[in-house]
Amino acid sequence: MFTDEFDIENVQTIENAQPETEQVSEPARIVNQPKKPSTPNWGGIVALVLVCSLVFGGVGGYLGYKIGNLDKTTVVINQPTPDIKIGDNNVIYDATVDVVNKVSPAVVAIMVDSVQKVENPYGGIFDDFFNNRGNTPQYRVQKSSGSGFIIKAPWANNGDSYIITNNHVVDGATKITIHLLDKRHFECKIVAVDRITDVALLKVEGVKDLPSVEFGDSVSLKVGQPVVAIGNPYQYEATVTTGVVSALARNISMENGQLPYVGIIQTDAAINPGNSGGPLLTLDGKVIGINFMMDARAQGIGFAISSNTASKVAEDLIKYGKVSWPYLGISGTTMSEDIARQFGIKFIEGAYVAEVDDGPAKEGGMLRADIITAIGDKPIKDFDSLLLDVRSRKVGDKVTLTINRKGKEQKLEVILGKAPTNPNR
């Protein structure tokens, strides 16, 4: 920084200044003197900061006061509150407690005895020692457990109480005992089963007026809705877990070749071995699913058979002793860009037919690599929606399938057949 100073001898002070005249005074001479570093005026800076603080603080306080008193312009945003009502309670915690108290008496622990053949691991060399001449088969009683719930069947006029559970819980049973929350226990028998949906119907002979629950409407379910599971995991009776509906209308294909499970409810409520057959409940205490499966590879992924499916199965089993499910006789997948590129065809939304069995679809003219784009007037965008639509119909129904075959649209008339209990696929 350059600093210039005047010669003090030639600068007049205010006190010695003369009145102005026409004479022009000689300019002050600039004297070159050694340069000195300048010193900031810290006192002035501090004073300026204090003044600014006082000014802005006062203005801010005044504005805050005025805004705080503008009642007429204040906006209040009210967040919506979920309408969950059981009695006078609006809290999920209280609702869950109410559901447990209401439903638990009708949830049963199921104890199963079954006979299994035991193979001699040492072969026939020890047959004489074990008095097993002639290689007579050896058997033992296998004990297992599951869950279930009692329903009052509106389709039965005699007021009998029926127990709903999974078929895989009681499959091969030689003795079935149910345990109630009130410590009573009864032997029961299998009325009928439906292997396609994994539903079994049991009955206690000579006992009426047991506590019971009602089916709800699974169609009205929404993803994120709170649910409660009650069951008998690892024989810990009346165990309660909670969660939400994670997804709806899942279709689960099995590796053993049976027909896929359709319209399945997914939940993150804990479902463990022994929970199978127990109820999945909404907060109004209605059964909207039968817990039957978990994904062992993950945590918080469980599945339940929808109540609408279970209710139809129970009604048919009571009335007719069996359930007749319609089917097309095809296997396939949802059409994708990858499939289109693989087979050199144009991509369109629909259900890709991978194989055609001997059955209704083949009789109607269906071929491998056809793409089903509609059933009746309903567009088909994926294979799951095709399965759901077919399963909702009756055996013997005639349906019109719109297909795309090598780029050309065609219509096929197919009469739905009766699904075999153990189909090849």
Q: d(Cα 415, Cα 327) in Å, to the nearest integer?
A: 9
Average pLDDT, integer, range 187-193: 93
Q: Rounded to the nearest 5°, which phi and psi values hold at 358?
A: -70, 110
Confidence of residue 63 (pLDDT cuts 50, 70, 90): low
Handedness of CA 97, 161, 112, 289 (dihedral sign): negative
Q: Is the pLDDT of residue 158 over 80?
A: no
One-letter amino acid of 165: T
pLDDT at 411: 95
Asked if 308 and 391 touch (Cβ cutoff 8 Å), the reply is no
Q: Find the range with the poorest average confidence among 125-139, 141-155, 266-280.
A: 125-139
Q: What percent of the chain has pLDDT over 90?
A: 42
pLDDT at 27: 36
Beta strands in 8-158 (DSSP E): 107-118, 138-152
Q: 216: which 2 tokens? A: 């709800």
Active-site residue, selected from the candidate residues 104, 160, 161, 198:
198
End-to-end alpha carbon distance in the chain: 93
Q: Is the pLDDT of residue 189 over 60?
A: yes
Q: Find the range with the poorest average confidence among 30-44, 313-327, 346-360.
A: 30-44
Cα 187-188-189 angle, rounded to 5 deg: 140
Q: pLDDT tens for residues 225-283?
A: 999 999 999 888 889 999 999 999 888 877 665 677 888 999 999 998 899 999 999 99
pLDDT at 121: 57
Mean pLDDT taken over the chain: 78
Confidence of residue 88 (pLDDT cuts 50, 70, 90): very low
**Domains of the chain as residue ranges with CATH:** 103-208 (2.40.10.10), 220-320 (2.40.10.10), 326-418 (2.30.42.10)
Handedness of CA 352, 356, 362, 365 (dihedral sign): positive
Q: Is the pLDDT of residue 38 over 90?
A: no
Per the listing, tokens 């001898």 go with 9
Question: Is position 198 annotated as part of the catalytic site?
Answer: yes
Give 396 or 59, the one with higher predicted confidence.
Answer: 396
Confidence of residue 159 (pLDDT cuts 50, 70, 90): low
Confidence of residue 139 (pLDDT cuts 50, 70, 90): confident
How many residues in the chain?
425
60-98 burial string, b = 16+ CB within 10 Å, else e?
eeeeeeeeeeeeeeeeeeeeeeeebebeeeeeeeebbeb
Q: 312: which 2 tokens? A: 């139809």
Question: Which ranges of 104-215 would DSSP assign to H, the alpha helix?
Answer: 167-170
Chain centre distance of CA 126: 54
Q: 119: which 2 tokens? A: 């193979």
Average pLDDT, integer, range 287-315: 90
Average pLDDT, integer, range 337-360: 90
Render 86-134 in DSSP notation, one character per residue: BTTB-SHHHHHHHHHHHHGGGEEEEEEEEEEEE--TTGGGGTTTTT-TT
pLDDT at 191: 92
pTM exceeds 0.85, yes or no: no
Q: 244: which 2 tokens? A: 């939400």
Average pLDDT, integer, range 180-193: 93
Q: Find the range with the poorest average confidence among 56-65, 145-154, 372-381.
A: 56-65
Q: Is 171 exposed, middle or buried (0-12, 13-18, 19+ CB in 10 A)?
A: middle
Q: What percent of the chain has pLDDT over 70?
A: 70
Active-site residue, selected from the candidate residues 104, 145, 246, 276:
276
CA dihedral in degrees (322, 292, 352, 394; nearest 10)? 20
Average pLDDT, integer, range 74-92: 48
Q: 322: which 2 tokens? A: 């069996």
Confidence of residue 28 (pLDDT cuts 50, 70, 90): very low
pLDDT at 87: 47
Asked if 327 and 363 touch (Cβ cutoff 8 Å), the reply is no
Question: Is position 168 annotated as part of the catalytic site?
Answer: yes
Q: Is the pLDDT of residue 349 over 70?
A: yes
Q: pLDDT tens for residues 110-121?
A: 999 988 777 665
Q: Which residue, 266, 274, 279, is CA-closest to 229? A: 279
Q: Is the pLDDT of residue 424 over 80?
A: no
Phi-psi region of 71 (alpha: psi -120 to 50; beta: other; left: phi over 0): alpha
Residue 29 to residues 4, 80, 212, 268, 280: CA-CA distances in angstroms? 11, 83, 115, 94, 103
Active-site residue, selected from the candidate residues 98, 114, 127, 168:
168
Q: Is the pLDDT of residue 81 over 50?
A: no
Q: Which residue, 176, 172, 188, 186, is CA-closest to 139? A: 172
Question: Is position 276 annotated as part of the catalytic site?
Answer: yes
Residue 135 to residues 13, 122, 132, 203, 255: CA-CA distances in angstroms? 136, 12, 6, 39, 34
Q: Is the pLDDT of residue 346 over 80?
A: yes
